[in-house]
Amino acid sequence: MNEVVLLTGALGNVGRTILSHLSDSYTWRLIDNRPPDSDFPYDIIAADILDTSAVTEAVEGVNAIIHLAGDPQTSASWKSVLRNNIEGTQILLEAAVNSGVERFIFASSNHVVGHYETNDKPTLSDPNSPFPLDGTELPRPGNLYGASKAIGEILGRYYHDEYGISVICVRIGNLNEDAPPVDYARGQSMWLSKRDCGHLFDRCLQAVYGYEIIYGVSDNDSSYYSLDRARTILGYVPRDNSAEHIS
Amino acid sequence: MNEVVLLTGALGNVGRTILSHLSDSYTWRLIDNRPPDSDFPYDIIAADILDTSAVTEAVEGVNAIIHLAGDPQTSASWKSVLRNNIEGTQILLEAAVNSGVERFIFASSNHVVGHYETNDKPTLSDPNSPFPLDGTELPRPGNLYGASKAIGEILGRYYHDEYGISVICVRIGNLNEDAPPVDYARGQSMWLSKRDCGHLFDRCLQAVYGYEIIYGVSDNDSSYYSLDRARTILGYVPRDNSAEHIS
């Protein structure tokens, strides 16, 4: 029997990508606070993740959660991320452990470490450079949105340590069908193709782990981010490389 | 002329210790949401740090802030730490950068890393042990109070990177006049004597740094925490050692 997976923020870019690649592999339960397009082919729970009773109901009988819901704007205000990203994630984690959910896949972001690029453009060949980042470094959020994602990672760490739920934080790069322009180094570094995205979340649903922080990007020639942990722990085998897919 | 220092949560244990050791070294501005005892010898602003307009007024003309206010209970609920510790710290940081405050000293906690002790009692002599912790490790909060302090550290990181304000996070141990019993290893490890506490916060007000995370404990014989960074960056020279002050 298929595993039941709750997908929050299912109508966003990442959610639709996951669904389009993995629709038949899992029994999906979808939730989003926006109304779906009329041709959206799945049932969806119309509720906000701040609605504790709706969330409590939604997680019942679920094996895994992919948590994408939240304010995705990098310019989001503190007020918005405090509610939608920080409170929302805590409500979902609390409901998950109360309901015995086994794994929690958290959509984190490259913006958790955006300020590593503050003063200088990263030089990947510099032996003193912190790049490539591998997920063991302390967060340096580039904006309050990134701070809220770093905070979600900490909440995940706590709920894992305290309750044993498996938690993986995926610092998602730039999800696009086409690779960014060749002269946009940052975009080239963090491109995540749609098929690599689908595969990555599939691995997050299948692999065995306790608590992990990984980067979610394709196998790009030059990257600020290491894929070592994703390869080792998840068996992630990306097929795309921004250098070979110049838009 | 003395530097003006805003001390939030001035009526708590740490606040009173700082004042008793450094009362003449700085021009103090005190704030607390509790009423002072009738014999409290200083003027104090009676306001909550969630009161944005009171906070905005309190930070005006201040050179540095020591931020101690918040729910200090390790059993504090998420609801309480979300408001008092997370929102409160963001309000204060925002007011600080808007007002041109130069440094922000954040009362963090050993509970930020409490879950490193989860499964096994730490063995300091084990070469694979993560101990002693030195502030470069990722947080593993032992409770939601500890999570809120880890979150405060991230907010401090963001405000430093974004606005240049100097921020130091002091993961305070157990502040007591007397060292804990000899058979209480955890307490022995994280004891902070009152005079070492006064000296440590004095160094935080004097030394030059950008963003730092340090441990605030005495020079205890056996410790889960490294003092290397506090010594190097701050010139912290603790005088007490729990092993020599058995209660």
- Asked if A105 contacts A197 with a C-beta cutoff of 8 angstroms, the reply is no
Cβ of A141 and B158 within 8 Å?
yes
B86 contacts in chain A (CB < 8 Å)? 82, 86
SS3 state of residue B215:
strand
Top residue of A77, A92, A154 to mutate, by most chain B CBs within 10 Å, is A154
Range of the domain at A163: 4-244
Could you read off the pLDDT of B55-72 as tens digits, one per residue? 999 999 999 999 999 999
Q: Can you spell out the DSSP letters for A43-54? A: --EE--TT-HHH
Enzyme catalytic residues of B: 145
Q: Which residues of A149-162 are buried (b: 16+ CB within 10 A; e: fewer)?
A: bbbbbbbbbbbbbb
Q: Give the type of residue at A223.
A: S
Cβ–Cβ contacts within 10 Å for residue A46, how many?
Answer: 12
Q: Structural domain tally of chain B?
A: 1
Query: How many helices (H) and strands (E) are present in chain B, helices listed first?
Result: 8, 9
Catalytic residue of the set A26, A42, A116, A145: A145
To the nearest whole Å, the CA of A168 is away from the closest chain B CA by 14
Could you read off the pLDDT of B117-170 as tens digits, one per residue? 876 666 777 777 888 899 999 999 999 999 999 999 999 999 999 999 999 999
Read off the tokens for A135: 């997920």
In which element (H, E) is residue B67 found? strand B64-67
Q: Is A211 a catalytic residue?
A: no
B167 contacts in chain A (CB < 8 Å)? none
Give the separation between CA B134 and CA A135, rounded to whole angstroms: 18
Residue position matching structure tokens 């000296």: B199
**Surface-to-core class of residue A35, CB atoms within 10 Å of its CB (0-12 exposed, 13-18 middle, 19+ buried):** exposed
User: Which of B138, B141, B157 has its CB closest to that of A140?
Assistant: B157
* CATH code for the domain of B36: 3.40.50.720
Give the separation between CA A123 and CA A129, rounded to whole angstroms: 7
Query: pLDDT tens track of chain B, all 247 residues?
Result: 589 999 999 999 999 999 999 999 999 999 999 999 999 999 999 999 999 999 999 999 999 999 999 999 999 999 999 999 999 999 999 999 999 999 999 999 999 999 998 766 667 777 778 888 999 999 999 999 999 999 999 999 999 999 999 999 999 999 998 888 888 888 999 999 999 999 999 999 999 999 999 999 999 998 899 999 999 999 999 999 999 986 5
Cβ of B157 and A138 within 8 Å?
yes
pLDDT of A191 > 70? The answer is yes
A150 contacts in chain B (CB < 8 Å)? 154
Cβ of B158 and A147 within 8 Å?
yes
Nearest CA in chain A to B118: A161
Asked if the C-beta of B52 comes within 8 angstroms of chain A's C-beta atoms, the answer is no
Nearest CA in chain B to A118: B161
Instruction: Tell me the H-state helices in chain A.
Output: 13-22, 52-58, 78-80, 88-99, 144-163, 185-190, 194-206, 228-229
